[in-house]
Amino acid sequence: MSKPPKKAAKGKVVAKPKKAAKAAKMVKEKGPSAAERNRFTLYGFAGSTSTYTVALMLSLCRHPFSYIHISLRDGAHKLPDYLVKNRYGQVPALRDGQTFLVQSAAILIHISEVLAKFDGKTPVERARIREWLFWQWDKLAVPVYRLRARSRGFRQFGDEVRVMYDTEAKAALAVLEGELTKSEWITGKRPTAADVGIYSVIRFCGDANVELAHYPHVSAWKRKIEALPGFATPEQLLPMESRLV
């Protein structure tokens, strides 16, 4: 015969066990460690779309990074001290510990793999990410960036060349539109480094006078990228001065 449960003493309040969720809220969240803060340093220029690509990737990964402003106008990217970091004399460059990485697509792949975020989980997924990042530079980035540079007065070429680049940009957008009719993200059911890299070109189509109105799936995908946790604009991520964490 089981014993009846003991009653609480008269006038004594029995404390209820704390719920896990409530207890979790009371635990102070730890910030990034010193090692995490010191791990990444991004060298770049505020007006560089390639620098923005890398900064956005780190922001979406919610990983702190220091930023060193390299003044292209003053030729800082051609000075010996910077050429040690990026032998091509371009921006961006990323320091990861004692290693310097260059070329934005290669940097995106590196970040996604070492942080295990926005990466491919299988060899096929990783190959697809590389495929789309290479496609981005081969078919999309060149015409969009050339048209953007012309509209901002950094490049000069005639209407015939402008029409050529405009045609190339629209052809690339048509390919992207077709892909996004089949899947939610570039390589499948979740965002990867391929989405981040391609977004960094699509974002500047307006500056290049390339309208996205005729590409509804691309426009919807762009809005989804901008709604991801950690998303930030170039103005938020890339000041005209260095910033250390």
With residue 199 as reference, give the H or E element that holds it.
helix 193-202
Q: What is the pLDDT of residue 157?
A: 92
Q: What is the pLDDT of residue 206?
A: 95
Contact indicator for 166, 144 with CB cutoff of 8 Å: no
Query: What predicted TM-score, i.e. pTM, was given to this entire model?
Result: 0.85
pLDDT at 59 over 80: yes
Q: What is the pLDDT of residue 142?
A: 96
Task: Look at 28-37, 119-128, 188-197, 203-212 and tell me which has the smallest mean pLDDT.
Answer: 28-37
Q: What is the pLDDT of residue 30?
A: 64
Tell me the pLDDT band of 36, cut-offs 50, 70 and 90. Answer: confident
Residue predicted with more confidence, 31 or 235:
235
φ, ψ for residue 66, nearest 5 deg:
-85, 155
pLDDT at 192 over 80: yes
pLDDT 10s digits, 96-107: 999 999 999 999
Mean pLDDT of the chain: 90
Q: DSSP readout, 56-83?
A: HHHHHTT---EEEE--TTTTGGGSHHHH
Determine if the peptide bond prior to 80 is cis (ω within 30°). Answer: no
Q: What is the pLDDT of residue 24?
A: 43
Domains of the chain, CATH where assigned: 34-117+232-237 (3.40.30.10), 123-226 (1.20.1050.10)
Distance CA 148, CA 138 (A): 17
Q: What is the pLDDT of residue 104?
A: 97
φ, ψ for residue 155, nearest 5 deg:
-135, 150
Residues 6 or more apart whose CB falls under 8 angstroms from that of 238 comprise 44, 45, 46, 48, 51, 52, 55, 67
Question: Which tokens go with 234?
Answer: 């170039």
Q: What is the pLDDT of residue 209?
A: 95
